[in-house]
Amino acid sequence: MLLEARDDDETTVFKAAAASVQVLVEPVGRWFEAYIRRRSRNVSASFQELEEEEESSEESEDEELQLEEHPMLRTLDPKDWKNQDHYAVLGLPHLRYKATQKQIKAAHKSIVLKHHPDKRKAAGEQIVEGDNDYFTCITKAIEILSDPVKRRAFDSVDPTFDNSVPSKSEGKESFFEVFAPVFERNARWSSKKHGPSLGTMDSSFEEVDNFYSFWYNFDSWREFSYLDEEEKEKAECRDERRWIEKQNRASRAQRKKEEMNRIRTLVDTAYSCDPRVSESCSLWSGCIKSKIPAFIKIVFEAVKVRQAELEAARLAKEKEEEEARQAAQQAKKEKEIQKKAIKKERQKLRTTCKNWNYFADSEADSVKMMEEVEKLCDRLELTSLQSLNEILASASKEDSKAAVEKQVEEVNAQLQKEKDAEVQAWQAARSAEQASGGKGWNEDDLQLLIKAVNLFPAGTNARWEVIANYMNLHSTSGMKRTAKDVINKAKNLQKLDPLQKDEINRKAYEKFKKEHTSVPPSIDNALPSERFDATGSDGNTAPWTTEEQKLLEQALKTYPVNTPERWEKIADAVPERSKKDCMKRYKELVEMVKAKKAAQEQVAAKNKK
C-alpha cells in the first residue's frame, strides 16, 4: 500500500508505465475444483466464500451441540413410530431441518449410550423384550434422518411447520411484519437456494417484480410420500404392489396440488395487500391520465387505418373469389351443356345406324360396323358428330354408308398415326438408352423386373430400392441397377403396346416351361431319388393356381413339422398335386421369401448408414 504524500513533497515522473495486459490464468488443484463448482451452480467467488463461512460456522456449532432430551421418550409406542417427532426423539427439536449429518450422528450416539437396552439392563432396569421397547423409536428416528430421501420426506410433513396463510385484513394493517416471516419459512421448500426477500417499502420496482416473479414461478421440492397409507413392501404379490403404488401416487398428487394452491393463495394475498404494488399502479394510472392521451390517440388512429386497410383487402379478396366462383360455375354449366349435346348426338348417330341395320347385310358385318360406330362416338367431337348426323338425316342409305365409312377411315388413320408415333418414341428411347452404354435391358432382365414388381407391391417400404437390390442379386447380366433406372424402365413398360406385353409374357412362360420340363441327358435313364427335383411322368408341370396355393398354405399350417408322413397328408389336401410337386413348390416359396427379406435388409442397412 502506498503512503500518502505530504504537502511539501514534489511529484516527479521517472518513466511512463506500460499498458496493462490481460493474462489468462488457468486454475489448478483445489482452485480448479472450486471454479468448476462455481460454474456449475452459476455463482460468484464471493458467494462461495459466504457458503464456506456458513459451513465453518456449522462445524463450530457441531462442537457446541446441546441436546434437549424428549420428556416423553420412555412412554413412546414403537408401533406408532411413524407419528413421532424424530428430531425430538434424538434431542434436536431446536435444530430440526437445519441439523447436519454430524449433529444427527452425534445426537444418536449420545442417546444410544444412555438408553441402550444393555446399559439399562446393567443398571437394573426392567427391559421389554423384542421390538416393543421404546429404544425401537430411537432406531427408527436415526433410520429416517440418516437417509437423505427419507429425511426429505419427513421434513416435507414436519409437524411443527406452520402452513397457515395470513388474511387480507391482517396484511393491510401491517404488511411487512405479517408476510415477511411467512415467506421466510416457506422459502425452505424452494428448489433454488437464497431466493429474493420481501424487502422494505424502499425497495425498487425491479426488486419487487423479481420477488413476485420468483414466487409465482415457485419450484417446490416438498413431497408427501411419508403420508402414504399403504406400504408396497407389505404387498403379497406384484398386482397388489402395483395397486398400492397407484393409490399412493394419486394421494401424493392430490396433496401436491393442495400445497401449490396454498402457495399461490399466499402470493396472491401478498400481492393484493402490498402497498408498493398499489403505489406503482397509482403512479402508472396518473401517468396515463396526464401524459399519454395524445399517444393513445395516435395509436388508435393507426389501428383504425390498419383495420380499414384489412377490411378493404378482405372485400377485394371476397370479390375475386366470387368472380372466380361464378366463372367456374359458368364453365361447369357450359361443360354440362356440351356433355349433354355430345350425348344426344352420339345417341342420334347410334339410332340412325341401327335403323339402317348398320349398313350391312350379314350379322358379322353388322357387328364390325357397330364397333366402328362406337369408335366414332368416342373419338369425334361435337361439331363432327353434328355434321355427320345432318348428312345421315338427309341422305340415302348408300350415301349415308359412304359418309360413315369415310369418317371411320379418317379416325382409323388418326389412331394408327398416334400408335406409330408412340412406337417410334419408345424405340428411340430404347436406342438412346442402349447407345448411352451401359444399361441395356435384355429379356431376362425384363422378366426379372416384372417378377420383382409383382413380388414387392405398392406400399412396400423403400419399394424401388428393394426392387433394384433384388435385381442386382438375381440378375445374370451382371449389370448394377439403381432405383432410378428401375423406375424409368417400369414406366416405359407401362407405355408398351399390349401386343408387346403379351410377347414378353409369352417368352417368359416359354422359358419357364423349358427350364421345368428339360431333363439332364446324363440321367435320362436313371430313376429319380427322393431328393431329386425332377418332373417326370408323375409330376404336374402346370403353373400353380391361386386356389392350389391357398390349399397348400392351409395344409402347411394344419400339418406342422413334427407330423408323421407330413408331405403325404399335404399332397392329399391339394388335388392334382403330388408329394414332389408340393415339396418343390414349398422350396420355391422359401427361396422367394429369403430373397425378398435379403433385398429389404440391404436397403434398411443402407438407410441406417
Evaluate whether 493 touches 475 at the Cβ level (below 8 Å).
no
What is the location of CATH 1.10.10.60 in the chain? 546-607
Number of Cβ within a 10 Å radius of residue 326: 10
- Is pLDDT of 532 > 70? no
What does the pLDDT average to over 319-335?
Answer: 92
Q: Is the pLDDT of residue 280 over 80?
A: no
Instruction: Locate 362 and state its grid cell.
Output: 350379314
Query: Under 8 Å CB-to-CB from 103, ≥6 apart: which residues?
Result: 61, 62, 65, 92, 95
Mean pLDDT value across residues 393-418: 86
The confidence score (pLDDT) of residue 168 equals 87
Look up residue 115 and give its three cell numbers.
438408553
C-alpha cell at 285: 394510472
Specify the residue for cell string 419357364. 512
pLDDT confidence band for 522 (50 / 70 / 90): very low
Q: Tell me what pLDDT residue 530 has.
A: 44
pLDDT above 70 covers what percent of the chain? 82
Helix (H, G, I), strand (E, B) or coil at 591: helix
**How far is Cα 319 from Cα 526, in angstroms, rounded to an integer?**
90
**CA 86 to centroid of chain Cα atoms:** 48
pLDDT in tens, 441-451: 777 788 888 88
**Identity of the amino acid at 417:** K
CATH tag for 81-156 (out of 1.10.10.10, 1.10.287.110, 1.20.1250.20, 3.90.550.10) = 1.10.287.110
What's the pLDDT score for residue 65? 73
504, exposed or middle or buried, with CB in 10 Å at 0-12, 13-18, 19+?
middle
CB-based contacts of 585-592 (< 8 A; 24+ apart in sequence): 585/544, 585/552, 586/552, 586/556, 587/533, 592/455
**Helix, strand or coil for residue 55?**
helix
14-25 core/surface letters (b: 16 or more CB in 10 A; e: else): eeeeeeeeeeee
Mean pLDDT of 61-90: 81
Tell me phi and psi for residue 440, to 5 degrees. Answer: -70, 155
The string of pLDDT tens digits covering residues 355-386 is: 888 888 888 888 888 888 888 888 888 888 88
- Residue 142's pLDDT is 92
Query: Is 190 strand, coil or helix?
Result: strand
What pLDDT score was predicted for residue 40?
78
Question: Which residues contact residue 52 at a Cβ distance below 8 angstroms, ignoring those fewer than 6 apart?
Answer: none
End-to-end CA distance of the chain: 68
CA dihedral sign of residues 372, 373, 379, 381: positive
pLDDT of residue 406: 87
Element holding 256 (H helix, E strand)? helix 238-273
Domain ranges in the chain with CATH number 1.10.8: 330-434
Residue 516 has pLDDT above 60, yes or no: no
More confident residue, 479 or 103: 103
Residues 6+ apart with CB under 8 A from 393: 352
Residues 552 and 544: their CA atoms lie apart, in Å, by 10
Q: How far apart are CA 316 and CA 34, in angstroms?
A: 68
- Residue 536: what pLDDT? 44
**In the predicted structure, residue 1 carries a pLDDT above the cut 90:** no
Q: State which amino acid sits at residue 542.
A: A
Q: Which pLDDT tens digit goes with each residue over 12-33?
A: 777 777 778 888 888 888 888 8
CA-based R_g, the chain, Å = 49
Signed CA dihedral, 515, 521, 525, 529: sign only: negative
Count other Cβ atoms within 10 Å, centred on residue 155. 21
Task: Single out the residue of 133, 132, 146, 153 nearest to residue 231, CA to CA.
Answer: 153
Q: For 41-63, what is the mean pLDDT?
A: 60
pLDDT of residue 531: 43
**Between 26 and 319, residue with greater pLDDT:** 319
* Confidence check: pLDDT of 535 > 50: no
CA-based nearest residue to 226, from 150, 141, 138, 136: 150
Res. 517 pLDDT band, cuts 50 70 90: low
Nine-digit cell at 440?
441395356
Domain with CATH 1.10.287.110 in the chain: 81-156
Identify the residue with better confidence: 410 or 521.
Answer: 410
Q: How much is the pLDDT for 294?
A: 67
**Choice among 189-193, 240-244, 289-293 with the minimum mean pLDDT:** 289-293
Q: Say whether pLDDT at 73 is over 90.
A: no
Helices (H), 356-462: 363-379, 382-394, 397-435, 443-455
Count Cβ atoms below 10 Å from residue 137 Cβ, excluding itself: 22
Going from the C-alpha of 175 to that of each of 182, 222, 372, the distances in angstroms are: 11, 26, 103
* Contact present, 92 and 130 (Cβ < 8 Å): no
Average pLDDT score, the chain: 81
**pLDDT value at 519 more than 50:** no
Give the pLDDT of residue 533: 43
Tell whether the model's pLDDT for residue 426 goes beyond 70.
yes
User: How many angstroms separate the CA atoms of 448 and 595, rounded?
Assistant: 13
> Looking at domain 330-434, which of 1.10.8, 3.40.50, 1.10.287, 1.10.10 is its CATH number?
1.10.8
So what's the pLDDT on residue 434? 59
Task: Give tens-digit pLDDT for 570-596.
Answer: 888 888 888 888 888 888 888 888 877
Class of domain 546-607: mainly alpha
Please give the pLDDT value at position 233. 74
